[in-house]
């Protein structure tokens, strides 16, 4: 079983798609990330779990460079993106796709324009081919004949799936999922889980998902890491986390209202 991740200077970096080293971040004067160390291997699906407000989304935004840390580094294939900006960071980002918690679809654009925006802006692919690709990506997420609809007319589940189609439209190497099943009914949530598994199998992408939905975490993950107190306190397979003897981890994954997590909060 792999316990809390610490940086091993001798560890080979070649297999790691993403390596987070000693990441610190304060927001509004409060420490959110307090020395996060984490490695995500190429082709694996890692899910980061933790309580609401623990900093999971903040960590995810550091991986794609939407936030800069106070100290520490984020390596993408050995390149430290925390020191990057502008065009060089944009080049790295083209290797990513991201599904936001609320899908973050562009309100003024149709579904076709949303999904195809990356292809239209970054490639010289002819318009007919782009439309065909958009149709194909929407079909992959189980949506048909909605290209001309605006996001306001879509249900929550459909928005998430369109967001996912947009995230994979450019065939990224790495996909980030921010609370992919939050706000969805159990049927739509499981549909998203199945989509994530299908994409992993068909596109062989590296995935990082952030969630507090344990059903989703168990279903989609190769490894699960728990963020608590600004650090990764556990990282292992779903089986390992179920058998973990860390009481903080056990309280969270079993959904217990009382335990060391809530005792610590009451004592603050």
Partner 1 sequence: MRQVVRIFGEKAMFFLHEAGSYSLLTMRTIAAIPQVFRRFRLTSEQMLMMGVASLPLVLFTSVFTGAVSAVQAAYQFRGYVPMRYLGTAVGKAVIIELGPVLTALVVAGRVGAAIAAELGTMKVTEQVDALETLALDPVKYLAAPRLVSGLVMLPVLTIFSNFVAILGALFVSIFFIDITAYTFLNGVKLFFDLKDLFGGLLKSFFFGGIIASVGCYHGFRTYGGAEGVGLSTTRAVVLASVLILISDYIIASILFG
Q: Shortest gap between Cβ of 103 and partner 1 (angstroms)? A: 9
DSSP string, the chain: ---S----TTS--TTEEEEEEEEEEEETTEEEEEEEEEEEETT-EEEEE--TTSSHHHHHHHHTTSS--SEEEEEETTEEGGG--HHHHHHHHTTEEEE-TT----TTS-HHHHHHHHHHHH----HHHHHHHHHHHHHHTT--S-TT--GGGS-HHHHHHHHHHHHHTT--SEEEEESTTTT--HHHHHHHHHHHHHHHHHH--EEEEEES-HHHHHHH-SEEEEEETTEEEEEE-HHHHHT---HHHHHHHTT-SSSHHHHHHHH-
Ranges within 125-184 binding partner 1 (CB under 8 A): 166
Determine the Cα–Cα distance for residues 189 and 174; give it in Å rounded to an integer. Answer: 21
Binding mask 49-78 for partner 1 (x = CB under 8 A): ------------x--x-x------------
Q: Does 26 bind partner 1 (CB under 8 A)?
A: no
Determine the Cα–Cα distance for residues 76 and 95; give it in Å rounded to an integer. Answer: 10
Q: Does 221 bind partner 1 (CB under 8 A)?
A: no
Q: Does 122 bind partner 1 (CB under 8 A)?
A: yes
Q: Choose, by CB under 8 A, the member of 84, 96, 207, 232 that binds partner 1.
A: 96
Q: Choose, by CB under 8 A, the member of 9, 52, 53, 121 that binds partner 1.
A: 121
Q: Shortest gap between Cβ of 248 and partner 1 (angstroms)? A: 30
Identify which range of 103-111, 194-202, 210-218, 231-239 contacts partner 1 by CB under 8 A: 103-111
Determine the Cα–Cα distance for residues 14 and 31; give it in Å rounded to an integer. Answer: 31
Please say whether the beta carbons of 116 and 133 come within 8 A: yes
Identify which range of 68-76, 101-109, 138-146, 231-239 contacts partner 1 by CB under 8 A: 101-109
Identify which range of 39-47, 115-123, 137-145, 259-267 contacts partner 1 by CB under 8 A: 115-123
Q: Does 101 bind partner 1 (CB under 8 A)?
A: yes
Identify which range of 43-51, 86-94, 205-213, 214-222 contacts partner 1 by CB under 8 A: 86-94
Q: Choose, by CB under 8 A, the member of 29, 107, 255, 257 that binds partner 1.
A: 107
Q: Shortest gap between Cβ of 221 and partner 1 (angstroms)? A: 22
Determine the Cα–Cα distance for residues 76 and 64; give it in Å rounded to an integer. Answer: 9
Q: Does 7 bind partner 1 (CB under 8 A)?
A: no
Q: Does 98 bind partner 1 (CB under 8 A)?
A: yes
Q: Shortest gap between Cβ of 108 and partner 1 (angstroms)? A: 8
> Which residue ranges make up the site for partner 1 (CB under 8 A)?
61, 64, 66, 90-91, 93-94, 96-98, 100-102, 104-107, 117-118, 121-122, 166
């Amino acid at each position: 079983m792999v316990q809390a991740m610490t940086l091993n200077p001798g560890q080979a970096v070649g297999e790691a798609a993403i390596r987070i080293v000693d990441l610190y971040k304060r927001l509004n004067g409060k420490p959110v990330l307090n020395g996060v160390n984490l490695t995500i291997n190429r082709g694996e699906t890692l899910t980061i779990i933790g309580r609401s407000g623990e900093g999971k989304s903040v960590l995810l935004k550091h991986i794609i460079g939407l936030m800069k840390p106070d100290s520490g580094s984020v390596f993408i294939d050995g390149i430290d993106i925390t020191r990057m900006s502008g065009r060089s960071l944009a080049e790295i980002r083209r290797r990513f796709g991201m599904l936001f918690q609320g899908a973050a679809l562009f309100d003024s654009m149709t579904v076709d324009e949303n999904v195809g925006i990356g292809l239209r802006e970054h490639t010289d692919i002819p318009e007919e081919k782009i439309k065909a690709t958009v149709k194909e990506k929407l079909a992959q997420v189980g949506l048909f004949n909605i290209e001309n609809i605006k996001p306001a007319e879509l249900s929550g589940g459909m928005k998430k799936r369109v967001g996912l189609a947009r995230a994979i439209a450019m065939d990224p190497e790495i996909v980030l999922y921010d609370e992919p099943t939050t706000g969805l009914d159990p049927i739509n949530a499981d549909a998203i889980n199945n989509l994530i598994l299908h994409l992993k199998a068909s596109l062989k992408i590296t995935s990082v998902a952030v969630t507090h939905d344990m059903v989703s975490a168990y279903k989609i993950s190769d490894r699960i890491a728990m963020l608590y107190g600004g650090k990764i306190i556990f990282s292992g397979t779903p089986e390992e986390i179920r058998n973990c003897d860390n009481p903080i981890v056990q309280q969270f994954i079993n959904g217990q209202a009382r335990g060391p997590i809530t005792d610590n909060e009451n004592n603050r």
